[in-house]
Amino acid sequence: APLRLALVLLLAATAVLAKPASKIVGGVPSGEHEFPYQISLQQDRRHFCGGSLISDRFVLTAGHCTGTLISGLTVEAVAGEHDFSAPNKDAQRRVVDEFWVHEDYVVGMVAPNDIAVLRVDRPYELNEFVNLIQLPGKNVLHDGVCVISGWGSVSFGSFPVYPDVLQKAYLPIMDQQQCVTIWEGGPVADSNVCAGTVEGNSGVCSGDSGGPLVLEGPQHKEQVGIVSWGGVPCGGPNNPGVFVRVSYFIDWIEDKLARKD
């Protein structure tokens, strides 16, 4: 019996292990072109990660979203997308022609430094449907309620249900120490920021991996985080999403933005 109990406990423990996030649970469909900076990373026209447009040729995403690129497959970064099930004349498709993953990130792992910058083969045409998100100042610590957007699973259970329409949800930034305590022993670093509630009643874990967490101020919007990881199953209490803290990596990002050729 003790052995069987140990096995049950082991299975229970593995069920809540962190994994790269791909969910927006308890969100609502976004308005058309509400998030002109939202990028869909696609391989063979299939969406696999989110991203954000930070210049007319550069996309910010998670390091763990680059596995497809590392394996040499062609990846398209699609801007102006809203509903995958409907033809969209406003969408702009570009091929990723260069990418940089943070030197201290171990690809495929739930770990800090989960950040990457992608460059596309030719600039996007910026307009009301396709536009940039502003980066924060260096090392700025944000607080308040942020919006997350993505095409991640909308299912509370273990079986994903993927929407065609871009979803959004609102998440409060969580106190850093509280987040570290909740994910005791988990890889939450100073270079991360957490968002979600202790009650979990917003029912949101996180958006698509690589997608943006954005603070919408009265004057302007700026990107606070990149979706990195969360717990499984989704949306329960004590299960905040863990994001890359963009302000921590401003120098690293700016260095990549200078590499236009």
Catalytic residues: 64, 114, 209
Q: Which residue has the tokens 């939450």?
A: 188
| Alpha carbon 147 to chain centroid, angstroms | 11
3-state secondary structure of 7: helix
Which of 118, 128, 63 minimizes the C-alpha distance to 92? 128
DSSP code at position 134: B
Where does the chain show beta strands of DSSP type E? 19-20, 28-29, 38-43, 46-55, 58-61, 76-79, 92-101, 116-120, 145-150, 167-172, 192-195, 212-216, 221-230, 241-245
* Distance of alpha carbon 87 from alpha carbon 82, whole angstroms: 10
Q: Which pairing describes strands 46-55 and 38-43: parallel, antiparallel, or unpaired?
A: antiparallel
- 190: its two tokens: 């100073």
- 259: its two tokens: 């590499």
DSSP code at position 113: -
